[in-house]
Structure 1
């Protein structure tokens, strides 16, 4: 099974030196989302001072295969509207 490494970034990069063997890329994507969710749950309200948090997944050769980022803002995303809004 391939080994994937789940590095985190929020101003400081924390390298995953151990990695995890997973069945395939879909499993790596699921794990990246789970890792990010755990980080956000742990950070709680202090996430607002961080602004953004990323999980960058690399393969055994060090190539980025997927990344996922959560960003905090007091503003709605550009183009966002409620359904039926005029």
Structure 2
């Protein structure tokens, strides 16, 4: 009997320079790849610390074994608030 293989995903990073993941990782599904993408981005941001402001944007792009993008997550730094953001007045 053949053993079922897990899908293989690659976690590329981009902060102005794209770094290809040539090894990848076997994961059960796209949901697991999403969770891993967020974890990878979190680790990168922790490692970069204040240096993140130099690039102002960092992305993790996940592709499948065929090279198709299945998910991406991006963190952006800015000194301005996000568009449409307001601080709600308290009711006191």
Under TM normalisation by the shorter chain, which class is it?
Answer: over 0.9
Give the root-mean-square deviation of aligned CA atoms.
0.9
The match for 1:12 among 11, 14, 17 is: 17
Where does residue 61 of structure 2 map in the other structure? Answer: 56
Where does residue 84 of structure 1 map in the other structure? Answer: 89
- CA distance in structure 2 between the partners assigned to 1:15 and 1:43 by the alignment: 18
The alpha-carbon deviation at position 82 of structure 1 amounts to: 1.3
Moved segments of 4+, more than 6 Å: none
Q: Which of the two has higher C-alpha Rg?
A: 2
- The gaps in structure 2 that reach 5 residues or longer are 1-5
- CA distance in structure 2 between the partners assigned to 1:30 and 1:38 by the alignment: 12
Count the aligned residue pairs: 85
SS, match of residue 46 in structure 1? helix
Where does residue 38 of structure 1 map in the other structure? Answer: 43
Task: Name the TM-score, length of structure 2 as normaliser.
Answer: 0.90
- The gaps in structure 1 that reach 5 residues or longer are none
